Structure 1
């Protein structure tokens, strides 16, 4: 007797095995060659006096875990934004949400120089919320402002404006080198303590996204249809924005701005699973984690033994995809 397994179930069931393989590869490969046996020893029997063990546990392991988590957070955020707005071009980086987080972190670092990790995370949340309010507020006031291309242009303009202010402030206060981290994401500088601190917030954002998934499926049919079916659209949109703010804010606080993950991955998830966000959201999270971890591994070999910035790798993949979406789906909102 044949057992049929749906594509979403196959993705979620195979994810743990694939994830373990990718994490192991991410830990194994780097600027310094380390034997597989040494990696296994470090993971199972850590020796603090062994330099290779220190590299693995304090640098490569947090980096591997962080890349998976950040990829998942950004992909879920992108899926939520695309479903809520029915805009195939929506994502945290395109809509300026990530730039808002970096802007707020810049303010925090300049005016509260001894700020704690928790304060950095909270400022990142505030920045994400600020940029979303500005972009959607301005889009709603402009004629045709909610169309995909116009929202993408508006988000890019707001993001560039906030980035420019951040650059000007960091230059004036002689903090350009510190601020550059947030605009040129460096996964190899991942802070293990910050990851631990961020996980509870991220868990709240993910749970919210999953609980909202059915409502997002209805909302993606159109606001009039959703209202006719009894959905409280304003409440769902507010909750969705809160989830996006949390997940994007956490991502930026962990590693800085990383573009195009939230744009590309939700489209792959919808192609594989269909339009039901009950599956799109969790599958986006899984595929996003795998996608960014693979991009991170690739970044180590494009200019070996030097590393390519992760943003360059995601842009190489994301820009052509973005142009394709503008050409094929940018003329109007998704039906």
Structure 2
């Protein structure tokens, strides 16, 4: 118990270090005392403005998005009982992207409030469709049917997003950086609007961690222990919708954080989701902060989207997981 609590403290320190590094490190390095002065004795200088209006909001977005992806991934792997399941497997990434693209480039809505609701509803509807398809047939919802339904819906939604964007070169240029999963163009107004929903999702995941623990044992075992399976899976769907909808609205579809983080955490703390979920939040936040920092330096004159960096690191990890599962 003490070791796990110590791990939580170390995780918080890791996230704080990532926040500080994200604010101070970039194409132009900012001394730590300048960062502190930007808040304690703001003088309106260029450095202070960049810190307060660009780097701090971006660091906060990376922290919240990474934490949300880590928690959503751990919940998905618990309820599907499949280690290769990530939150993107529910179609939530491209579900949010599709409704967002439709609201922006088909109907011409420019309000961040409408964009937020489009992302949240798109993520929720995609999750709902995947769960419904995965529940059809004999045996109800199984991990294999859930993954197959998620992969199918993901491909369908991704092709629909590309189909809409390809008709407008201007729209494609505007959206392609966001579609790769970028924190660069994240709107602080959007972040403030979706933050309450992300916090609700995080709080719900922590409160229901014990029930999620039972779900990870299988439907029959959980039902035998008195858990209402349908109600619990609906609650889990709502939590994932809040976490993923908010994340995609801010930063676009960032992959592999939700897939990889729960595996690393299980190696550290075991199979108890009462610990896996908070550890996943901290590790996800820290890793996305580091990925966003790395994205600034891979090319000297061009900044990569953070989603590209996570994909570069996550693809070998996914191959390793698939091979390990095949051997078993």
Listed one character per residue, the Cα deviations across residues 280-308 of structure 1 (whole Å, up to 9, x for unaligned) are 11111111100111111112222234322
Equivalent in 276, 283, 303 of residue 280 of structure 1:
276
145-154 or 67-76, which deviates more: 145-154
Contact 1:302 1:308 (C-alpha < 8 Å) held by counterparts:
yes
Structure 1 runs, 4 residues or longer, greater than 6 Å off: 142-147
Unmatched tracts of structure 1, length 5 or more? none
Displacement, 1:253? 0.4
Is 1:121 paired with 2:116?
yes
Residue of structure 1 equivalent to 2:51: 56
Residue of structure 2 equivalent to 1:191: 187
Equivalent in 160, 163, 167 of residue 168 of structure 1:
163
SS in structure 2 at match of 1:93:
helix
Displacement, 1:275? 1.2
Residue of structure 1 equivalent to 2:134: 139
Residue of structure 2 equivalent to 1:13: 9
Equivalent in 64, 87, 104 of residue 92 of structure 1:
87
Listed one character per residue, the Cα deviations across residues 243-298 of structure 1 (whole Å, up to 9, x for unaligned) are 00010000000111100110001111111111111111111111110011111111
SS in structure 2 at match of 1:189:
coil
SS in structure 1 at match of 2:89:
coil
Listed one character per residue, the Cα deviations across residues 52-103 of structure 1 (whole Å, up to 9, x for unaligned) are 1111111111111111110000110011111111111111223322111101
Task: State how far apart, in whole Å, the 2-side matches of 1:95 and 1:139 are.
Answer: 10
Change (3 A) 1:119 1:316: same
Task: State how far apart, in whole Å, the 2-side matches of 1:130 and 1:258 are.
Answer: 19
Equivalent in 294, 298, 301 of residue 302 of structure 1:
298
Task: State how far apart, in whole Å, the 2-side matches of 1:117 and 1:79 are.
Answer: 29
After TM superposition, list the pairs within 5 Å mapping 1:133-282 onto structure 2.
Answer: 133-141=128-136, 151-174=146-169, 175-282=171-278
Task: State how far apart, in whole Å, the 2-side matches of 1:329 and 1:216 are.
Answer: 23
Task: State how far apart, in whole Å, the 1-side matches of 2:226 and 2:110 are.
Answer: 45
Residue of structure 1 equivalent to 2:23: 27
Contact 2:181 2:308 (C-alpha < 8 Å) held by counterparts:
no
Change (3 A) 1:144 1:163: farther
Residue of structure 2 equivalent to 1:75: 70
SS in structure 2 at match of 1:83:
helix
322-331 or 121-130, which deviates more: 322-331
Contact 2:99 2:118 (C-alpha < 8 Å) held by counterparts:
yes
309-318 or 296-305, which deviates more: 296-305
Task: State how far apart, in whole Å, the 1-side matches of 2:6 and 2:91 are.
Answer: 34
322-331 or 156-165, which deviates more: 322-331
Change (3 A) 1:77 1:187: same
TM-score by length of 2: 0.92
RMSD (CA atoms):
2.2
Task: State how far apart, in whole Å, the 1-side matches of 2:296 and 2:270 are.
Answer: 34
Task: State how far apart, in whole Å, the 1-side matches of 2:224 and 2:209 are.
Answer: 18
212-221 or 92-101, which deviates more: 92-101
Unmatched tracts of structure 2, length 5 or more? none
Displacement, 1:26? 0.8
After TM superposition, list the pairs within 5 Å mapping 1:314-325 onto structure 2.
Answer: 314-325=310-321
Change (3 A) 1:144 1:215: closer
Number of corresponding residues: 327
